[in-house]
Structure 1
Amino acid sequence: MKLIASFLIVFISFTALAKSEPHNQLPKSKSIITGADQTDQYFEYLKGKRIGVLANPTTIIGKKHLVDSLLSRGINIVKVFGPEHGFRGNASNGTKVSDEKDAATGIQIISLYGKKRKPSADDLANVDLMIFDIQDVGCRFYTYINVLRDVMESCAEYNKELLILDRPNPNGYLVDGPILDMKLKSGIGQFPVPIAHGMTIGEFAQMINGEGWLPEKKVCKLKIVKVLNYKHDMEYILPVNPSPNLNTPQSILLYPSTCLFEGTRLNHGRGTYFAFTILGSPLYKGIYDFAYTPVSIKGMSESPLYMNEECYGLDLRNFDTNELRKKCQLNLSWIIELYNKYPEKDKFFDKSLSKQIGNIDYLIGVSEFKEQLKAGKSEKEIRASWEPGLSEYKKMRKKYLLYK
C-alpha cells in the first residue's frame, strides 16, 4: 500500500555531522550514526516550533539526553511524554506511571503508561511538532511499538507531524515467530506481526501507515531521520539499557526467545541482575546443578516469582549468541527442554499460580503452542505451523524497509 504524506530526510555526509552536537569522540566514517546524532538534519527544522517529545533514558545525542541538548540550543520543548518505565526509566515493568514535572527542567511530563495511552487534544493543543526517539529491541511484546502507534494515532487525529529519530534494532537480523492471531490482541501484542519483526521504529511507523493500522485507516504525517551506515544484520551494542531488566547485550539478544518464559511457572531471572539470561524453578532441584535465588530489587522487580527461594535451571549468560545469528531463528529448544523436564507439567503454564505478567498464548501469539509442547511436537513441527503467515509477512515487510 502506498504511503501517504510520509517522507524521509536524506542522510548527510560525515563531514557535515562534525558541525552538529559535540561528542567526546566523533565516530569513524563507517560507524553507525543514529538519527538523533545527525543534528544538522533536524535542528533548524525545530526552530520556532513548539515541540513535544516522546522520550526515555535511551533518548540521547552522544552521551547527553536529547531533551537537555535541545533546550541548550534554545529549542522550545513544551511537553515530554513518557512510555512504560517512565521518562527517567525508574519504574518496574507493568507499573503504572503518573504525570509529573521533571525535576531537572521543570517541563511537564505526561505519562502514556498510566491513566492514558495516547496524547489527548489538550496535550497536543500547544504542540506544533512531536518527536519520537526511543530505543526499541524489535519484539512484538516490547511495548514501545504500541506507544508508537498511539502517538501516531493522536498526531493523525489532531493534524500534527511526527519526527522520528531512528535507531538501530539490535535484533534487526531476526524475523521469526508465529503471526499474532488478532483474537489474542492485548497489551503485549497489538499487530499481526511475528515475535521478532526485524524493523526499526522508523520502518515500523511506515508499516503502520501503509497497512492501515490506525483507526479509520488514518495516516500520520511522518518525517524520518534515518540511521547512517546501518544494515539489519549489523551487531549493535546499545549505549543505554532500553529498560531496567534488559541491562546487558546478552539479555537483549536472548529476549525474543526467553521472554516466552513469562508465560510459564519458571522464573526467568527477574529478581536478579541477569533477567532473561537465567531460567529456573525450585522444582528442578536434583535435575539441574545451576542455582540462583531471586530477591526483591527496587525499580527492576519488587516481587519476583520464587522470591527468596533457590531456583535451579539453565544459565545462558555465556551462550554464544552468534548461534542465533547463524540460524536467524528464535531458540525454542530451551522451552521444549524445560517443559519436558518439569516435574509438574500440568502446572507449567498455570498463570493462576504466578505473579508474572504474561500468558503464553498472548506472548507467542497463537493458542496452539502449549498444546504442541504437551503433544511432544518437535521444533521443526512447531515452526511448520507458523507458515504461510511468516513468509507472507516477510514479503509485506520489504515494502517498508529503509535499510538493507
Structure 2
Amino acid sequence: MRFKVFKNTVLLFVLGMISCGNFSKKKVDGLKTEYKTPQTNTQQAIIVVGANQTDAYLPLLKGKRVGVVANQTSVIFKVKSSYTHLVDSLVSLNINVKTVYAPEHGFRGTADAGEHIKDGVDTKTGVPIVSLYGDNKKPKPEQLKNIDIMIFDIQDVGARFYTYISSLHYVMEACAEANIPVLILDRPNPNGHYVDGPILEIEHKSFVGMHPIPVVHGMTIGEYATMINGEKWLKNGVQCELKIISIKNYTHQTNYSLPIKPSPNLPNDASINLYPSLCFFEGTNVSVGRGTHTQFQVFGSPFLDKSIFKYSFTPKPNEGAKSPPNQDKICYGMDLSNEKKITELNLNWLISAYKNTINKADFFNSFFTKLAGTKKLQQQIEAGLTETEIKASWQQGLISFKKTRNKYLIYK
C-alpha cells in the first residue's frame, strides 16, 4: 500500500469564497483569543494545518458522497481571531456531505468524558450525525453505504489513552473493509516533542489503549494512521487507502498552542501538557480537577494527607463534568498550573500521592491498568520503586518503538 502525502499551497481564492460564505464566522474561544503563528529561530513561520489546504483536497471531493469524522476542532482558520467549521465550509461549497461521524464528546464537543452520544441531525447544516462512541465505536456497513470518501479531521493531544486515535483505528478498519479511502487533514501534536511511558501489553487492550505503543507516542494523526496501516493493526491485517494532507511549517519540536479546546476538560496549554502525566490519576481515587476550572492542572482527594498537601479544591458539577469524582468533597493535593512545560512523563506526583494516602488499599481501581497498559506500573509503585527505577524498566520498549515510529514520520 502506498501512502499518498499531499503537500500543496493554500488556495487563497477558495478560502476567500469560504470566508465570504453565508455561514457565520466564529471567534476562537479556546486556549487563545488569537490564532498566533509559532516562532522559529530565524523567522516567523505560519503553521498551515491540513484543513486549510483546500486546493489539495477539494478536487478529491467533487462529485463524491462524503463522510466526515469531526468535532469542534475541525476548522478552517480564517484570520487571526476567526475560523469556520470544516463541515459548514464544505456544505457552503456544495460538497455533498452525507454523514458526520462524532467521536467522544460529540460533534460540537460539549459532552462529558464517557457520556453516551446519540445519533441525530446537525441543526445547523441538516447533515445526519452518527455517534462513534458508546456501543457503536466502529461504523457499521449500513452507516457507510452512501459514502465514497471519508474525511478524518480531529485535533489530537498525543496520548495513548486520548480516544480519538482509537476512533481513527475503527474508522480506518471499517473503511478498509468497505473499500472507502480515508482522507486525513493533519494537525500538529502539542505533545509531539517527546516519547515516553510503558508500552501497552496487548492483553490489556481497550478503547483507551489499542496498540503496542507508549503512553506518549510523539506522532500526529496522519503519522499515526500510517503506522496503523503499516504495522497491520487493523482486523485481519487489512489496510486502508490513505490520503494525507500534511501540515506546512511544522516539526515535532515546533511549539503549538491549540486555538480551540480539544475536549471540555482540557481548557488550556498547561492542561494539555500535563494531561499524559495526570491522567493516571483517573485510575485512582484522586481527582484531577474535573468539576473545577483547573482541570488537569491540579490533583487531590479527601484521602490525601492535608499536612503534606496544602492546596485544596472542591469539585462541583460544570461543563464536561456533570458528576465529577469526589463531588462536593474537599480535596487536598497540589496546584500544578504554573509548572514549566514538561518534556517527559512525571510519575513523582502519582508516587507521592500513593505514599501519602490514608488507605493504600483503596487508592488504585481497575481502570488504572487500562490506562497504564500494563499491571507492572501499579505493582512497581506499590513496591516502592522510584520514578527513575520505574522509567528504567521502559527503556528497551521505548527504543524498539522509536525505531518503528521513525518509519512513519512525516515531520522530523
User: Under TM normalisation by the shorter chain, which class is it?
Assistant: over 0.9
Give the equivalent residue in structure 1 for 2:90.
Answer: 70
1:288, 1:392 → 2: CA distance?
38
Give the equivalent residue in structure 2 for 1:396.
Answer: 404
1:175-206 C-alpha deviation (Å, 9 max, x unpaired): 10010011111121101000000000000000
1:379, 1:27 → 2: CA distance?
36
1:68, 1:368 → 2: CA distance?
46
How far residue 216 of structure 1 moved from its aligned partner, in angstroms, is 1.2
SS in structure 2 at match of 1:163: strand
Q: Conserved in 2, the CA contact under 8 Å of 1:34 and 1:226? A: yes
How far residue 122 of structure 1 moved from its aligned partner, in angstroms, is 1.5
1:179, 1:59 → 2: CA distance?
30
Q: Conserved in 2, the CA contact under 8 Å of 1:59 and 1:65? A: yes
SS in structure 2 at match of 1:32: coil
State the identity %: 49
Q: Conserved in 1, the CA contact under 8 Å of 2:204 and 2:369? A: yes
Give the equivalent residue in structure 2 for 1:49.
Answer: 64
Q: Conserved in 1, the CA contact under 8 Å of 2:138 and 2:170? A: yes
SS in structure 2 at match of 1:51: strand
Give the equivalent residue in structure 2 for 1:190.
Answer: 210
How far residue 26 of structure 1 moved from its aligned partner, in angstroms, is 10
Q: CA RMSD of the aligned region, Å?
A: 1.6
Tell me the amino acid that sits aligned with residue 290 of structure 2.
Answer: R
Give the equivalent residue in structure 2 for 1:19.
Answer: 13
How far residue 114 of structure 1 moved from its aligned partner, in angstroms, is 3.2
Give the equivalent residue in structure 2 for 1:86.
Answer: 106
SS in structure 1 at match of 2:4: strand
Give the equivalent residue in structure 1 for 2:346.
Answer: 331
Give the equivalent residue in structure 1 for 2:268.
Answer: 248
1:180, 1:115 → 2: CA distance?
23
How far residue 301 of structure 1 moved from its aligned partner, in angstroms, is 1.0
The alignment status of 1:114 with 2:134, answered yes or no, reads yes
Give the equivalent residue in structure 2 for 1:296.
Answer: 317
1:210-259 C-alpha deviation (Å, 9 max, x unpaired): 00101111110000000000000111111111111011111000001000
TM-score (norm. length: structure 2): 0.90
Give the equivalent residue in structure 1 for 2:28.
Answer: none
User: Which deviates the most, 369-378 or 219-228?
Assistant: 369-378
2:329, 2:123 → 1: CA distance?
38
User: Which deviates the most, 122-131 or 394-403?
Assistant: 122-131
1:165, 1:43 → 2: CA distance?
12
Give the equivalent residue in structure 2 for 1:355.
Answer: none
Runs of at least 4 residues of structure 1 off by over 6 A?
23-29
1:209, 1:269 → 2: CA distance?
36
Change (3 A) 1:273 1:26: closer
How far residue 74 of structure 1 moved from its aligned partner, in angstroms, is 1.2
2:375, 2:363 → 1: CA distance?
15
Tell me the amino acid that sits aligned with residue 8 of structure 2.
Answer: F
1:244-290 C-alpha deviation (Å, 9 max, x unpaired): 10111110000010001001111110111211111111233232221
The alignment status of 1:341 with 2:356, answered yes or no, reads yes
1:221, 1:148 → 2: CA distance?
13
Map 1:137-152 to 2 at 5 A: 137-152=157-172
Change (3 A) 1:81 1:140: same
Aligned residues: 385
Tell me the amino acid that sits aligned with residue 398 of structure 1.
Answer: N
Map 1:116-265 to 2 at 5 A: 116-265=136-285
The alignment status of 1:368 with 2:376, answered yes or no, reads yes
SS in structure 2 at match of 1:148: helix
How far residue 311 of structure 1 moved from its aligned partner, in angstroms, is 1.0
